[in-house]
């Protein structure tokens, strides 16, 4: 055993072994670093989008429960118009608009799940510019499906967020 240690600690053998171990470590890091950075980027983007949906969900519940003050109280407008104005003013999709193309390339399956939610949200935003008669008809069909999508999406997000934070 002493002979092995003395031979290993000789300068020529020691530096060659250290160079081999360092080279092996550099190769392993260079192979796994791109995979790891892609994984971290995907996780961070999903966290941001999930957090935005969670925040929008809380705002929507407060709008429906009439706990949020509506900014447009001076003008007489219909109840549907008030709801749509509050919805569009209080909810945001800034994070989605910023990261949707990256998410589409990194994680297509989750992108399509989230895209369905945001397509419906964009439809509600476009309802704000419709005439009031069209808004009322559209809102009757949109309310139920939008709430169902949000609830279904939120159940998925709870599981997803738990998995992301582990």
Domain extents in the chain? 43-165
Query: So what's the pLDDT on residue 79?
Result: 54
Residue with tokens 């990256």: 102
For the segment 72-96, the average pLDDT, to the nearest whole number, is 64
Is the pLDDT reported for residue 19 higher than 70?
yes
Query: So what's the pLDDT on residue 127?
Result: 66
d(CA 80, CA 77): 8
Residue with tokens 């939120």: 154
In terms of Cα–Cα distance, which of 157, 59, 46 is closest to 95? 46
Is the pLDDT reported for residue 130 higher than 50?
yes
Give the rounded percent of residues in the chain with a pLDDT score beyond 70. Answer: 58
Q: How far is CA 157 from CA 57, 101, 143, 153, 162, in A?
A: 11, 20, 20, 6, 8
> Per-residue pLDDT tens for 51-80?
888 887 777 777 666 655 555 445 444 555
- pTM equals 0.59
């Amino acid at each position: 055993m002493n002979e092995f240690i003395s031979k290993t600690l000789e300068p020529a053998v020691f530096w060659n072994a250290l160079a081999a171990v360092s080279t092996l470590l550099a190769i392993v890091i260079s192979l796994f670093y791109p995979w790891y950075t892609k994984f971290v980027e995907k996780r961070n983007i999903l966290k941001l989008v999930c957090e935005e949906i969670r925040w929008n969900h809380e705002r929507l519940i407060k709008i429906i429960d009439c706990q949020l003050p509506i900014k447009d109280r001076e003008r007489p407008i219909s109840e549907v118009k008030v709801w749509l104005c509050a919805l569009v003013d209080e909810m945001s999709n800034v994070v989605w608009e910023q990261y949707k193309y990256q998410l589409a390339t990194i994680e297509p399956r989750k992108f399509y799940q989230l895209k369905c939610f945001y397509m419906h949200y964009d439809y509600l935003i476009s309802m704000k510019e419709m005439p009031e008669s069209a808004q009322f008809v559209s809102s009757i069909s949109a309310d139920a499906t939008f709430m169902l999508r949000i609830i279904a999406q939120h159940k998925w997000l709870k599981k997803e967020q738990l998995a992301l934070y582990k």
